[in-house]
Amino acid sequence: MDEALRNTVLNMPKAELHIHIEGSLEPELIFALAERNKVALAYPSVEALRSAYAFTDLQSFLDIYYAGASVLLAEQDFYDMTMAYLQRAQADNVRHVELFFDPQTHTARGVAFADVINGIDRALQDARTKWQMSGLLIMCFLRHLSEEEAFATLEQALPHRDKFIGVGLDSSERGNPPEKFAGVFARCKELGLHLVAHAGEEGPPAYIRTALDVLQVERIDHGVACLQDPELVQRLARQQTALTVCPLSNIKLRVFDRMQDHNLAALLEAGIAATVNSDDPAYFGGYMNDNLVAAFEALPLNRDHARQLAHNSFAASFLPHEARESCLREVDAFFRQ
């Protein structure tokens, strides 16, 4: 990639729509929180923990990711984790973030739902004041657990309805199809929540179809498996259903062997509204701009693709109309330079 394109990608205004806040916990912060909270870790040092980040598939990552999250106990822990991520995102010219959080990972350990959401929300408010950065929260249901447990989590969340704008579906994809959660997503839709789901990361294109048809989601998280199904590609392009693609994640979790094999450029060429995101930046070797640079270095992507990605990131966001239009104007102005 030449220097001009690199600067464009780094400096362009952008939104991040697929980041699990627990996946932003850096090993250093895991160790600091473990000490503060007197939690024992299975690894003797930051280096030993980091060297365990050699994943073979989604499940091998999730096992370590849930272990890392075990150091989060108090409201302040959730604040500190979120603030560290937002500061890092701000340095990458991220103007707007839509954060996932996994309340079940914490409530199962006895942490109060209120402490989780209040800590994250307080950091989002501070980022707005400090950096004029907007942030919205999406609560994910863990798909390896039951729909009944998802309903119970929704009940716990409702007193905090003003602090999150939507729900998502994450964790172990294979064997846990979207339709397992048809009832709870229907209830969330009645409540006026936005709906998204991970689908077609490791799972088949059929899961993307049922996420759309049964859950009625507005965006697909990952969705890279769609290219195996040409009719689905046409549909995603026609409907402009956004895919929140996570290039470094897909390499670390072996969805693609090498970045040169990633299908991001093919998705964009097919007219799909793809976006680039970091997923779990502390575990996959990079934040927003690292993902963009890695993809642009390896794939046939040019300045028009950069503009498209910046545009898509805001167009696919759940920002209110006026704020979204204002961000899109900022993208246009940036690319007129």
The residues binding ligand ADE (CB under 6 A) are 20, 23, 58, 65, 170-171, 198, 201, 249, 279-280
Rounded least distance, CB 321 to ligand ADE, Å: 30
Rounded least distance, CB 249 to ligand ADE, Å: 5
Contact 69, 23 (CB under 8 A): no
Q: Is 257 exposed, middle or buried (0-12, 13-18, 19+ CB in 10 A)?
A: exposed
Amino acid making up residue 1: M
Rounded least distance, CB 39 to ligand ADE, Å: 20
Among the listed residues 3, 201, 218, 330, the single catalytic one is 201
If one counts every other C-beta atom within 10 angstroms of the C-beta of residue 316, the result is 23
Rounded least distance, CB 19 to Zn ion, Å: 8
Q: Give the one entry of ligand ADE, Zn ion, none that residue 201 binds, where binding means its C-beta sits below a cut-off of 5 to 8 angstroms depending on kind.
A: ligand ADE
201 flagged as catalytic:
yes
Q: Give the one entry of ligand ADE, Zn ion, none that residue 58 binds, where binding means its C-beta sits below a cut-off of 5 to 8 angstroms depending on kind.
A: ligand ADE
> In this complex, which beta carbon is closest to Zn ion, that of residue 95 or of residue 222?
222
> In this complex, which beta carbon is closest to ligand ADE, that of residue 215 or of residue 319?
215
Could you tell me which residues come within 8 angstroms of residue 203 by beta carbon, excluding any fewer than 6 positions away?
Answer: 173, 174, 177, 225
**Strand residues in the chain grouped as ranges (E):** 14-20, 94-101, 134-142, 166-170, 194-199, 219-222, 242-245, 274-276
**Strand residues in 21-125 grouped as ranges (E):** 94-101
Contact 288, 277 (CB under 8 A): yes
> In this complex, which beta carbon is closest to Zn ion, that of residue 16 or of residue 279?
279
Please identify which residue in 17, 124, 279, 318 interacts with Zn ion, judged by CB under 5 A: 279
Using the rule CB under 5 A, is 77 a contact of Zn ion?
Answer: no
> In this complex, which beta carbon is closest to Zn ion, that of residue 169 or of residue 315?
169
User: Encoding tokens for residue 147?
Assistant: 């729909």
Question: Among 271, 272, 270, which Cα is nearest to 243's?
Answer: 272
Enzyme catalytic residues: 201
Residues that bind Zn ion in the complex, under the rule CB under 5 A: 279
